[in-house]
Each structure stands twice: as C-alpha cells, then as structure tokens.
Amino acid sequence: MSQLKQTYYEPLTEDAAIRLALGINIFTENAALTCREIGDGNLNLVFHIINEQDGKGVIIKQALPYAKVVGESWPLTVKRAKIEADALRTFGQLVPDYVPKVYFTDDLLAVTVMEDLSHLIIARTGFITGETYPLLSKHLGEYLAKTIFYTSDYGLGPSEKKAQVQKFINPELCKITEDLIFTDPYFDADTNEFEDGLHTDVEALWDDDELKFHVNVLKRSFLTEAEVLLHGDLHTGSVFAANSDTKVIDPEFAFYGPAGFDIGQVFANLLFEVIVNVPNRGLFIHHIETVWNVFKEEFTRLWNTENKEVLAKTDIFLSYNLSKFFEDAIGFAGCELIRRTVGLAHVADLDTIEDEQTRLAAKRTTLELGKILIKQRKEIFTLDAFIAKVKKVV
C-alpha cells in the first residue's frame, strides 16, 4: 500500500496514524490494526497501534506545536521531534538494551514510529504502587556511563563531538528547563505551584541569597558546559521498567550540557522515594549507591580503554572528571528536589500522599535536602558523605 507524501504538518487522528503505519511497511498489507491515543496530551500525541492478528504493536509519537502544561499559549515548534528522534538513534547505538527501537521518522509530520513498550510500566508509577525494580539502578548506571563517555570529547574526539553539539542545539526545550528548574522557583513567578502550607518555607527560599548564588552557578553550568549529549529530562517518569527491563524514553530535551545534570536528575527522582517510601527506604538508598558505583566503574573502564585523547588518559584527570560529575550531580539533584515542590511541574511521589501533614512534612524535607545539596555540593565529595547527608535529613 502506498501513500502520497504529506507536504504539511497536521496533528494525526487515530485513523491517520493507522494509515501511516500501513504506509511504512512495518505491518503486512492486510494487518488488522487498531489504534488508541494514549498520550497525556501535554506536548505530544502518542498512538498505540496493535495488529489484532498477532498482538504486535508500535508506538507513533507526534509532537504538538504547543505545550499544554502551561496552556496552549506556550507555543513550541515541532522541531523537537527531530531532536528526539536523533537522540533516540544516537543513544540506541550506544545502549541498545536501554532505549526503544526507532522504525521510522518524518521531520515534517514531527513523527517517530518506535518500539511498543506497553508491557512495561513507568518507573515512577511502579514505585508508587510498591515496585522496586531491582535491576533499574544497575541499568541506569550503565546507561549513564556509556551515553556520557561516548558522546564526550574523550569518547568521540573533539571534531565529531562539535558536529554533535551543532546538531543538538535545542533552545526551546532548554528554555523550559532554564525557567522551570533554575529561575522561577527562586522568586515569586507566575508559573510556580505550591501548597498554602508551604508559604513560609517558600518565602525563605526566595530570601536565601546564598542559595540563589549557588543556583546561578549551576544554571551557568547548564547554559555553558557542553560536555556530553544529555537526555535532559531523565526523571523516573522518563523510564519504563519491569523487574528485568529498563528503557529510557522521551529524550526531546536532549542537548550538549554538563554530565552531572542527567546523573543528578536520576539521584533526585530516587530521593523522592527515599523520602516518601519509608518501607523501601533502604532499597532506594541502595539504588542511588548502585547508580553511582556502576556509573563510576563503567566510565572508568571506558576512559582507560576507549579514550581518544591520549594525553588525557591519566588516573588523576579521570578522578578530576568523576569528581566534577559528582559535585554537579549533587547540585542539580538539589535543584530538582526544590523545583518539583515549588515549581510548575510536580511529581506524583509527593503529591499523591493523601494525609496533608505527612505530605507537607515530606515536601519540607525535600526543600531542606535540596538546599543542603545545592549549598554543600563541594563538601559532599564522596558517595558515603552524600548518603550520610541524606540519612541525616530524612
């Protein structure tokens, strides 16, 4: 079955999604396809297409020309679909086990057709229902080590890395992070969302000049340090999980930035569970330790065996890089803790706590830990010191 090539962008309907799937020869011509739009509709349409004959499916993701999270008044071009598809392909080459397969992309329609992962659950959702995914942290540690090393100057070589920096310039999605993580939570911005019971705590944030200085330094790092190709939004809502499987999705925020940003997002989103999930607290602390230990071990192996910068391959310079990543990760984790409590985009780990006093207490702990991590990141330079600090606060 052939199809006339579409020459302009329009949002797909479920029928149009089926026609697209049939047109790109991933199903047989007489496949009996059904389709359901399953996206949350904030930024994208997500169509789940299934062949009723054998139960096999695909996902078609299409970018929408606006961000509904702040109303349709926040226009966003659909260029981000190309960034996402390019990032999925790049990461797919580096860590094929941890990324959905891409079957087809169309820049004009802002469409990516990819592997159906509907047998997996979003890790954050699983955590809230009591799952702990024992292999998740080992997988994420390996994912981080390989994506960070192989997209850096040391894994890729400086010239090829510059071409990648150019390809992944992503001003629109970076602006969302710059505003919602690094700016708006630190003054009385319209985008902020927090409970009345936190008003005093939030005003204390706004008055904390030392904190705001450190956030300026971390934002500066986000703005200027083109170290590696980041996922850019690596929270536990961007991870599909099962007991044996981990798949990192939705890299539309991908750009070249500081390696510690992705690591810090992982730390922070595991910390929410450390804070709220009292029965499994020890397991989530262990997850955090495993992410860093696996990352460090695998990054070290790659540094020593695959380094393209010959003079850089020394233990002391490796150690410098690991220390910088860790310090940055601690600081960025603190920013994530704070913005998920005060800023526009919240996390269900905190917001689904029904009892108000318990929920407010958890959010105060989040804010306190966030401030400590941001201000003290240069003193917290070992994993043990980090975990000790966490245990002291929660």
Q: Does 34 bind a copy of itself (CB under 8 A)?
A: no
* Whole-number Å distance between alpha carbons of 94 and 142: 10
Q: Does 75 bind a copy of itself (CB under 8 A)?
A: no
Nearest distance from C-beta of residue 159 to a copy of itself, angstroms: 4
Query: CA geometry: angle at 377 spanning 374 and 379, to 5°?
Result: 140
Nearest distance from C-beta of residue 217 to a copy of itself, angstroms: 6
Beta strands 33-37 and 44-51, pairing class: antiparallel
Q: Does 38 bind a copy of itself (CB under 8 A)?
A: no
Q: Does 172 bind a copy of itself (CB under 8 A)?
A: yes
Kindly tell me which residue out of 41, 65, 134, 171 binds a copy of itself, with binding defined by CB under 8 A.
171
Kindly tell me which residue out of 4, 316, 357, 392 binds a copy of itself, with binding defined by CB under 8 A.
316
Show the DSSP H helices in 55-116 as ranges: 80-94
Beta strands 121-122 and 228-230, pairing class: unpaired
Phi-psi region of 3 (alpha: psi -120 to 50; beta: other; left: phi over 0): beta
How many residues sit close enough to a copy of itself to count as binding (CB under 8 A)?
Answer: 38
Nearest distance from C-beta of residue 256 to a copy of itself, angstroms: 8
Per-residue DSSP letter, 181: T
Give the range of 38-46, 99-107, 197-205, 218-226 binding a copy of itself by CB under 8 A: 218-226
Q: How far apart are the first and last CA of the chain?
A: 59
Q: Does 378 bind a copy of itself (CB under 8 A)?
A: no
Nearest distance from C-beta of residue 250 to a copy of itself, angstroms: 21
Q: Does 72 bind a copy of itself (CB under 8 A)?
A: no
Q: Where do we find the tokens 């057709």?
A: 113
Query: CA geometry: angle at 110 spanning 107 and 114, to 5°?
Result: 95
Distances (CA, A) of 378 to 18, 228, 272, 325: 53, 21, 22, 11
Q: Does 209 bind a copy of itself (CB under 8 A)?
A: yes
Q: Does 231 bind a copy of itself (CB under 8 A)?
A: no
Kindly tell me which residue out of 200, 311, 357, 392 binds a copy of itself, with binding defined by CB under 8 A.
311
Residue 185, amino acid:
P
Q: Does 250 bind a copy of itself (CB under 8 A)?
A: no
* Whole-number Å distance between alpha carbons of 390 and 189: 29
* Structure-token pair, residue 296: 């460090």
Q: Does 217 bind a copy of itself (CB under 8 A)?
A: yes
Question: Which positions touch a copy of itself (CB under 8 A)?
Answer: 153, 158-159, 161-163, 165-166, 169-172, 174-175, 178, 183, 186-187, 209, 212-213, 215-217, 219-220, 223-227, 311-312, 314, 316-317, 320-321
